[in-house]
Amino acid sequence: MTVTKDRALLRNMFDAALDAAAPGRLLGAHLPKPPAGRLIVIGAGKAAASMAASFEAAWGARLPAPEGMVVTRYGHGAKTERIEVVEAAHPEPDEAGREAARRILALAESAGEGDLVLSLISGGGSALLSLPAPGVDFAEKQALTRALLASGAPIGEMNAVRKHLSAIKGGRLAAAAFPARVLTLAISDVPGDDPGVIASGPTVADPTTFAEARAILARRGIAAPPSVARHLETEAEETPKPGDARLSRAEYRLIGAPMLSLEAAAAVAEAAGVRPLILGDALEGEARELGAEMAARALAESGPVVLISGGETTVTIRREAAPLGRGGRNVEFLLGLAAALRGAPGVSAIACDTDGVDGMEEVAGAIIDEGTPVRAVAAGLSFEDALTRHDGHGFFAATGDQVVTGPTLTNVNDFRAVLVRRG
């Protein structure tokens, strides 16, 4: 089979993974019973607007008519009739996200005993629900977010800190809606599908503590700005814990998850005569190191086989990364993979973020093949320099290997597939 056909197969697998996570396919099976009172729809995440639009379409003319608001990333909006959609910044929070979070919290607080608060949650909600706890300076919270993003901390650690600086995350949103019933429909983007980590768990109990948040910052070598340090030391108000009565009327349903998308991609490979091996949906660690490990695994395989994985790797920004390039964890993974493969024949790979945005770039990721090193040399590039400067997007733009989808309006974390024909 030609390299062109293998690239097409990898892209078809990625498209199948996206389709399996499309809110329009997921929402209809999870419609709640109409409440006696109001139906208040709130939500946050990169898929939140698409989820809201899909819910409106599935709810139709049922009464009561939905009201409410969701917040999503800039460019990830969708057309709705009654549920307001607000766009804000991700991954670094901005004023639009703070104001949206304030209004969403107020909607929850307005709910009464006969009302239903429907919470539509997906990955990205942590940055988008950016309402600081009382006393925490917003600019200082933004600075801390930047430091966490550059530290290489896994998403669970990041969100444990963010929950303890928030007025809305870590179960506080559901607590604010009590005694109304709260139903959360969630699409997971985190390793292990932990409801407390997805968007920092605004509607579920939080087992983490202020002490853990302080320990995470210390372990990552991050000095907390003054208002953040005071808040974490004061421990003014802990997040709602398991057994909190205010969460007794809150229900949580996971309607979309990374493994479902990996399985859909595996079916595409199998139909093409390629044996799929799903290595897991929760692979973590340094992106470049996982790339090198995956190269060794691929070179030991006898094809045709495709190694499929999901999860959320990290990129630690190193001091020598100057001038810093344009990077993301998926393209960093591919740089590490390609550097270790060194143009080995019969191996190609794709790595993309399922929301269509890898890092800060409006590019999902890239596809590499045995011709990538040749194209890199022709462009005057080296894997080593690109890795040193974290310049995956710049590198793959020059080699013509980028995958650009635009906003996918869903998010089930990273998708990786390494196709092996050799052996």
Structural domains present in the chain: 3-17+259-420 (3.40.1480.10), 31-256 (3.40.50.10180)
Q: Which of 183, 222, 256, 184 is nearest to 409 (CA)?
A: 256
Nearest 5 degrees, angle CA 266-CA 267-CA 269? 65
- Residues 95, 162 contacting (CB under 8 angstroms): no
β-sheet with 66-73: strand ranges across: 83-88, 66-73, 39-44, 116-122, 181-187, 250-256
- Residues 122, 186 contacting (CB under 8 angstroms): yes
Contacts for 296 with CB less than 8 Å, ≥ 6 apart: 340
pLDDT at 283: 93
DSSP collapsed to 3 states, 147-203: HHHHHCCCHHHHHHHHHCCECCCCCHHHHHHCCCEEEEEEECCCHHHCCCCHHHCCC
As a whole number of angstroms, the distance between CA 83 and CA 49 comes to 9
pLDDT at 3: 79
Partner residues linked to 328 by β-bridges: none
pLDDT at 319: 64
Half-sphere exposure of 4 (CA within 13 A, CB side): 0
Counting every residue written for the chain, the total comes to 423
Half-sphere exposure of 96 (CA within 13 A, CB side): 14
337, 149, 103, 191: CA torsion to nearest 10: 50
- Residues 360, 390 contacting (CB under 8 angstroms): no
Partner residues linked to 309 by β-bridges: 280, 416
pLDDT at 204: 98
**Which amino acid, residue 328?**
G
**pLDDT of the chain, 423 residues: tens digit per residue:** 577 999 999 999 999 999 999 999 999 999 999 999 999 999 999 999 999 999 999 999 999 999 999 999 999 999 999 999 999 999 999 999 999 999 999 999 999 999 999 999 999 999 999 999 999 999 999 999 999 988 988 889 999 999 999 999 999 999 999 999 999 999 999 888 999 999 999 999 999 999 999 999 999 999 999 999 999 999 888 999 999 999 999 999 999 999 999 999 999 999 999 999 999 999 999 999 999 999 999 999 998 999 999 999 999 887 665 688 899 999 999 999 999 998 899 999 999 999 999 988 999 999 999 999 999 999 999 999 999 999 999 999 999 999 999 999 999 999 999 999 986
Count of CB atoms situated within 10 Å of the CB of 48: 36
Count of CB atoms situated within 10 Å of the CB of 25: 14
Contacts for 345 with CB less than 8 Å, ≥ 6 apart: 370, 422
Cis-peptide, bond into residue 179, ω within 30° of zero:
yes
pLDDT at 320: 61
pLDDT at 236: 80
Q: In the numeric block, which tokens belong to residue 152?
A: 């290489």
- Residues 187, 256 contacting (CB under 8 angstroms): yes
